[in-house]
């Protein structure tokens, strides 16, 4: 078991991307092998970003702004991008993104591990999932909505948005490899015996079996975006001491 990692997006140098975009690689959980790779992409108003999805596919989430997503050779209007919209970009597919004029587009992009099992037939086409349309699920006093996962357009990984009320839950661990991005709120991450501050743009790597809890120290909901592999429920926990 590794000790995980906590990084702040604004402390990661931005690298130039295609078409005027900037890209920050927040985490690569592979530690020398295949792992989840999380990038934060900013596309200025009226600018573009193009590339090819990695070979196991990518899970996107629109954090802010609006624009359009098109595929290679797609002459149509494309897929609208707007806040709280998730996108499954199939393995190896070429894409182009254009931000709307006057509106900077911010995307969270998580590439799945290269050794992930092949996507099932339902996962071979580009798909979207909107936060407002997904069912609310609960675990304890916390709520989450699964955007993609088994039975929801992606058989090999899970993407969800969770909301944590003020307070602290008992430490726990999960059976999967997870990356978490703080979207809103403030708090403290208690991870493997350490404490780290949480704010919008904080990104955490939580390996399988690592004890942790996220404490909401503010007065509003702490909103988090999680992606983990292999696919499971965000509520799945390992027995204490595992």
> Residue 106's pLDDT is what?
98
Identify whether residues 83 and 43 lie together within a single domain: yes
Identify whether residues 112 and 33 lie together within a single domain: yes
pLDDT band at 186 (very low <50, low <70, confident <90, very high): very high
> Residue 75's pLDDT is what?
61
User: What tens digit of pLDDT does each residue of 2-42 get?
Assistant: 578 999 999 999 999 988 999 999 999 987 678 999 999 99
Contacts of 141 (CB under 8 A, 6+ apart): 165, 167, 169
Q: Is residue 4 part of a domain?
A: no
For 4, 84, 195, the CA distances from 167, given in Å and listed in that order, are: 23, 25, 15
Identify whether residues 142 and 184 lie together within a single domain: yes
Please give the helix or strand (H or E) that residue 71 lies within, else none. Answer: strand 67-71
Contact at 8 Å (CB) between 112 and 154? no
Q: Which domain holds residue 67?
A: 12-116
Domain boundary among 85, 116, 147: 116
Q: Is residue 106 part of a domain?
A: yes
> Residue 1's pLDDT is what?
44
Identify whether residues 189 and 110 lie together within a single domain: no
Instruction: Specify the number of domains making up the chain.
Output: 2
Contacts of 214 (CB under 8 A, 6+ apart): 164, 169, 180, 187, 188, 189, 190, 198, 222, 224
Identify whether residues 219 and 154 lie together within a single domain: yes
How far apart are alpha carbons 109 and 86 in whole angstroms? 10
Domain boundary among 54, 87, 116: 116
Q: pTM of this prediction? A: 0.94
Identify whether residues 91 and 137 lie together within a single domain: no
Is the pLDDT at 74 greater than 70, yes or no? Answer: no
Looking at per-residue confidence, does 242 or 147 come out higher? 147
Q: Is residue 126 part of a domain?
A: no
Q: Is 18 helix (H, G, I), strand (E, B) or coil?
A: coil
How far apart are alpha carbons 230 and 158 in whole angstroms? 8
Q: Is residue 1 part of a domain?
A: no
Identify whether residues 103 and 178 lie together within a single domain: no
Residue 90 gets which letter from DSSP? -
> Residue 200's pLDDT is what?
97
Taking all residues of the chain, what is their mean pLDDT, rounded to a whole number? Answer: 91
Identify whether residues 112 and 176 lie together within a single domain: no
Mean local confidence (pLDDT), 144-172: 92
Identify whether residues 106 and 137 lie together within a single domain: no
Contact at 8 Å (CB) between 63 and 107? yes
> Residue 7's pLDDT is what?
95
Contact at 8 Å (CB) between 158 and 149? yes
Is the pLDDT at 226 greater than 70, yes or no? Answer: yes
Q: Is residue 124 part of a domain?
A: no
User: What tens digit of pLDDT does each residue of 193-203 get?
Assistant: 899 999 999 99
Identify whether residues 79 and 141 lie together within a single domain: no
Residue 112 gets which letter from DSSP? P
Is the pLDDT at 151 greater than 90, yes or no? Answer: no
Identify whether residues 29 and 75 lie together within a single domain: yes
Phi, psi of 86, deg, nearest 5:
-100, 150
Identify whether residues 168 and 84 lie together within a single domain: no
**CATH number for the domain that contains residue 59:** 2.60.120.10
Q: Is 79 helix (H, G, I), strand (E, B) or coil?
A: strand
Domain boundary among 116, 147, 182: 116
Residue 51 gets which letter from DSSP? E
> Residue 125's pLDDT is what?
84
């Amino acid at each position: 078991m590794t000790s995980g990692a906590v990084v702040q997006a604004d402390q990661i140098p931005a690298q130039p991307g295609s078409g005027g975009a900037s890209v920050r690689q927040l985490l690569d959980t592979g530690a020398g092998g295949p792992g989840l790779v999380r990038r934060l992409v900013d596309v200025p108003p009226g600018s573009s970003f193009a590339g090819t999805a990695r070979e196991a596919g990518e899970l996107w989430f629109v954090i802010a702004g609006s624009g359009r997503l098109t595929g290679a050779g797609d002459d149509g209007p494309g897929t609208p991008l707007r806040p709280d919209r998730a996108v499954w970009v199939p393995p190896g597919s070429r894409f182009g993104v254009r931000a709307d004029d006057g509106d900077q587009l911010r995307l969270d992009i998580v590439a799945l591990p290269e050794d992930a099992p092949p996507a099932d037939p339902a996962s071979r086409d580009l798909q979207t999932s909107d936060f407002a349309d997904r069912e609310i699920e609960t675990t304890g006093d916390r709520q989450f909505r699964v955007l993609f996962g088994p039975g929801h357009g992606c058989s090999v990984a899970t993407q969800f948005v969770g909301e944590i009320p003020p307070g602290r839950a008992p430490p726990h661990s999960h059976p999967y490899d997870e990356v978490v991005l703080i979207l809103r709120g403030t708090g403290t991450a208690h991870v493997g015996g350490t404490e780290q501050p949480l704010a919008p743009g904080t990104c955490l790597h939580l390996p399988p079996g690592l004890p942790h809890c996220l404490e909401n120290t503010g007065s509003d909901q702490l909103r988090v975006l999680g992606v983990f592999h292999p696919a499971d429920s965000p509520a799945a926990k390992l027995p204490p001491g595992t």
